[in-house]
Chains A and B, each alone.
Chain A
């Protein structure tokens, strides 16, 4: 229970892909076939919230709906996932903390880029700011703690690392993650028909690009 308008359902204590997949599958089923009175379904790492209108339903009814969907889920298909490719310029002014990651991990810049861009990351959840994605499955060798003092402002498009997580800042905001690169894409564009490039459950792959390529795509995206 999270107040008088939201039910919070959680499926475990830690961050695990199997738990997150269950959260996303059940959220997706609830969203595609919402029980009466349900206004929103918000998935996170290991939990989801159902926001409801107390004039139209009550928590006990929703709890019954959720358990019936949990049973049905065993036979259900997973929600359709996309693979989204994100061009990234690593290091220098685009990724000012790559030296910190290098000092902490003992890896050379090229090795960091190679390890970070050589796998597909599942999008566990989106939160914090519009389109900010929390990605799982980073190579353990890249693990780096958050900055001791968070930055007041991190530019839109920045790609960062915090402990075992990696993710992107779609809008300029404060933040404590180590910034290793930047994408020229507009990850969140409110005026676009689809303002977002990805959703929870999708997979993301980072493609290293040159400075020229960055400028070319940036101009196209921001014109």
Chain B
């Protein structure tokens, strides 16, 4: 059913879910919400499955006019959302009615917010996902970012019996200086002389940062004199930090499957959501960690989501999980 008419699309608003898998060997990247945690929580807050379509809103948000009553929730970056010009809280469900105007002005803290609607934003499932891959022009809303006049559809679902809200202890902070845990490799052997510098330096996030990768500016990371300057193209994964010839690190994200630059280290999965929320001008510091620690944090993150899932299910299921 039609749910929103786009009055103003914002800077870059796309439909995303948790990603497109199964075609990495054919050059099709995962795409999906950059901050998958905020995407999952936004969906849970309106009673959705975690993998339903949401709007990923970047830096400057859209103005949407509701065409039906619905439950919505926004999670992620703090963007000062209003309904009919009245400020409304994030990280909780909100009932809207036909004719309401939702404004999501500007990211104050964090970079990306996720707007979910009960029933999920509808879009054709292309190769297993509703995620938009703008560069190749498919998925999501006609393979592109939203523009003025688009009419968004949602899946059928009942309205919530009572509002859902996330307890404040689960709401993340978005500091201007972020510490990203990273595991050296896969080509750390080409940077023996630069590893110490890399793990102590402060890098600035540049404006040349997008869903494909975050470009950083800071101390020059040089290849060892005897190491090759590049490698034979090989698979890459989100979090890989590649060092091109200019010595400025790039954190790869979700829109690339292979690459030919050497990778000094890889941001751990649990910290990728921090990268997703970094704004140009923010400072990044890499902290060396081990794979065991990375896996421990990964499990901790999953347990945290499990807890949220259980908490948000309470009003409807009347079941105590823990």
Name the one of A40, A127, A188 contacting B22, with C-beta atoms under 8 angstroms: A40
Measured between alpha carbons, how far is A131 from B139 in the docked complex, in Å?
Answer: 16
Q: Are B267 and A3 in contact (CB under 8 A)?
A: yes
Q: Of B27, B267, B269, which is within 8 A of A131 by CB?
A: B27
| Cβ-based interface call for A6 (8 A) | yes
* Residues on A with beta carbons closer than 8 Å to the beta carbon of B26: 126, 130-131, 195-196, 199
The smallest beta-carbon distance between A222 and chain B, in angstroms, is 14
Say if the beta carbon of A58 comes within 8 Å of chain B: yes
Interface string of B281-293 (1 = CB under 8 A from A): 0000000000100
Asked whether B232 lies within 8 Å of A42 as measured between CB atoms, the reply is no
Chain A residues with Cβ below 8 Å from B233 are 44-45, 125, 127, 134
Are A43 and B25 interface neighbours, CB within 8 A?
A: yes
Check if A210 is an interface residue, CB within 8 A of chain B.
no
Asked if A92 is an interface residue, CB under 8 A from chain B, the answer is no
> A5 to B27, Cβ gap below 8 A?
no
The digit string for B230-245, where 1 denotes a CB below 8 A from any CB of A, is 0011111101100000
Which residues on A sit within 8 Å (CB–CB) of B239?
A: 3
Question: CB within 8 A of A126: which of B25, B240, B291?
Answer: B25
Residue from A41, A44, A171 with most neighbouring chain B CB atoms (10 Å):
A44
- Closest A residue to B143 using CB positions: A190
Contact B237–A49 (Cβ < 8 Å): yes
Task: Kindly provide the distance from the CB of A189 to the nearest chain B CB, expressed in whole angstroms.
Answer: 9
Which applies to chain B's interface (DSSP): helix, strand, loop or mixed? Answer: mixed
Tell me if B136 and A44 are in contact (CB < 8 A).
no
CB neighbours of A195 from chain B (8 A) = 23, 26, 127
* A49-B233 Cα distance, complex, nearest whole Å: 12
Min distance, Cβ A3 to any Cβ of chain B, angstroms: 3
Comparing B109-117, B215-223, B294-302, the segment that makes contact with chain A is B294-302
Q: Interface size on A (CB < 8 Å)?
A: 48
Taking CB atoms, residues of chain B closer than 8 Å to A102 are none
Asked if B186 lies at the interface with its beta carbon under 8 angstroms from chain A, I say yes
A15 close to chain B: CB less than 8 A: yes
Chain B residues contacting A2 (CB-CB under 8 Å) are 185-186, 235-237, 240, 263, 266
B234 touches A49 (CB 8 A): yes
Whether, in the assembled complex, A109 has its beta carbon less than 8 Å from a beta carbon of chain B, the answer is: no
Q: Is the CB of B127 within 8 A of A40?
A: no
- Set of chain B residues within 8 Å of A46, measured between Cβ atoms: 232, 234
Tell me whether B85 is interfacial, beta carbon within 8 Å. no
Q: A129 near B135 (CB under 8 angstroms)?
A: yes
Complex contact A171–B235 (CB within 8 A): no
Chain A minimum-CB-distance residue to B139: A190
- B294: which A residues are within 8 A, CB to CB? 3-4, 54
Q: How far is the CB of A85 from chain B (nearest CB, A)?
A: 19
The answer to whether A191 and B126 touch across the interface, beta carbons within 8 angstroms, is yes
Q: A2-B266, A3-B269, A200-B25 are contacts. A49–B235 as well, Cβ < 8 Å?
A: yes
For the complex formed, measure the closest distance between the CB of A199 and the CB atoms of chain B, giving whole angstroms. 7
B25 A6 Cβ-Cβ under 8 A = no
* CB nearest to B182 among chain A residues: A3
User: B24's contact among A1, A3, A8, A42, by CB below 8 Å, is which?
Assistant: A42
5 nearest CB pairs, A to B: A127-B258, A3-B266, A4-B294, A49-B235, A42-B235
26 inter-chain pairs at a CB distance below 8 angstroms, sorted by A residue, are A1-B185, A1-B186, A1-B266, A1-B291, A2-B185, A2-B186, A2-B237, A4-B291, A4-B298, A39-B21, A42-B235, A44-B232, A45-B232, A47-B234, A48-B235, A54-B298, A55-B299, A125-B233, A127-B27, A127-B257, A129-B135, A130-B136, A132-B27, A190-B136, A190-B138, A199-B26
11 A-B pairs besides A129-B136, A130-B136, A171-B137 with CB distance below 8 A are A3-B183, A3-B239, A3-B240, A42-B24, A44-B232, A44-B258, A46-B234, A54-B269, A58-B295, A132-B27, A190-B127
B residues with a Cβ closer than 8 A to A are 21-28, 126-127, 135-139, 183, 185-186, 232-237, 239-240, 257-258, 263, 266-269, 291, 294-295, 298-299, 302
Chain A residues with a Cβ under 8 A of chain B: 1-6, 8, 10, 13-15, 27, 31, 39-49, 51, 54-55, 58-59, 125-132, 134, 171-173, 188, 190-191, 195-196, 199-200
